[in-house]
Structure 1
Amino acid sequence: MQYYEDIEIGAVDEFGEYHVTKDELVEFAEQYDPQPFHVNEEAATDSAFGELIASGWHTASICMRLLVDGALNEQAGMGARGVDELRWKQPVTPGDTLSVRTEVVDKRVSESDPKRGYVDTRLEGINQDGDVVISWLAHGMIERRNPAE
């Protein structure tokens, strides 16, 4: 288990692999973001994107799953205080394979609860060509192993 004390500013990690299928892309969009360029190939061809693309929320959800499986399940996590700077950098299309890169950019002990540390992490979702498709700054809360120190 990784605690607050084990996390170092500047630490970079890369992990995960998720293949995006057309069926899954459309199914997610039909339920949560039914814009024409997410659910209809013909309409998508006439859109600004020129092809069917994943909802940005689907892309975020995929990256969140990769983050949980690749890092968060190994941490003494206590949830998050939010995210900032969410950006969809490039469309995700059927057949893309996504992975995640994280970098710890800041950390500090909570002033109100010494059992908790705050860790800010930059996340980038990356496609098979090495292009960043999504990014955000997460504000996580991690349990401290030794809160008295």
Structure 2
Amino acid sequence: MSDYFEEIEIGETDAFGTYEVTEEDVVSFGEQFDPQPFHVDEDAARESMFGGLVASGWHTASMTMRLLVDNFLADSRALGAVGIDDLRFPSPVRPGDALRVETEVVDKEVWDEDRGLVHCAIETSNAEGVVLTMVGLVLWERE
């Protein structure tokens, strides 16, 4: 992504990854933040609609955020997000998956004299397909 808000173009895209999902991470996150049986108990997960252990959607969002920071935001003029629109988890993430992220700038608007708001569509995928979609609403430094 470009340095300043004024340089960002609607339609601009990027792709990066990967994040390797481990069983230990799925269970640890689940135990701490979303202790439903299909996130923390392999036997119970096998009996669930998922047929096995799956990551919490919130864990999927967190892994996506890690990829975004490491590959997209850390060296940018992004100032933080004001929200997320249309967060969806169309397919589960399982231990052993490798996640990849694609982004597209879908809109932008002036926020105030110092900042602009960038609407960025984000799609996270594994080898099977899309596992997360959302639109990040990110404030960006203006020139």
Provide the TM-score with structure 2 as the length reference. Answer: 0.96
**Deviation string for 1:19-65 (max 9, x for gaps)?**
00111110110111000000111100111111110011110000001
Aligned to 2:36: 35
Question: Which contiguous aligned blocks of 4+ residues in structure 1 show a shift greater than 6 angstroms?
Answer: none
Shift of 1:2: 1.2
Aligned to 1:3: 4
Shift of 1:13: 0.4
Pairing of 1:87-106 with structure 2 (within 5 A): 87-106=88-107
Gaps of 5+ in 2: none
Measure the CA separation in 1 of the matches of 2:7 and 2:125: 26
SS in 2 for 1:34: coil
Measure the CA separation in 2 of the matches of 1:66 and 1:2: 19
Q: Bigger CA drift: 73-82 or 46-55?
A: 73-82
Count of matched residue pairs: 142
1:125 is aligned to 2:124? yes
Measure the CA separation in 1 of the matches of 2:131 and 2:95: 14
Supply the AA of the counterpart residue of 1:135.
T
Measure the CA separation in 1 of the matches of 2:18 and 2:122: 15
Look at both structures and tell me which one has the larger radius of gyration over its CA atoms. Answer: 1
Shift of 1:73: 1.1
Provide the TM-score with structure 1 as the length reference. Answer: 0.92
Gaps of 5+ in 1: none
Aligned to 1:142: 140
Shift of 1:3: 1.1
Q: Bigger CA drift: 1-10 or 65-74?
A: 1-10
SS in 2 for 1:49: coil
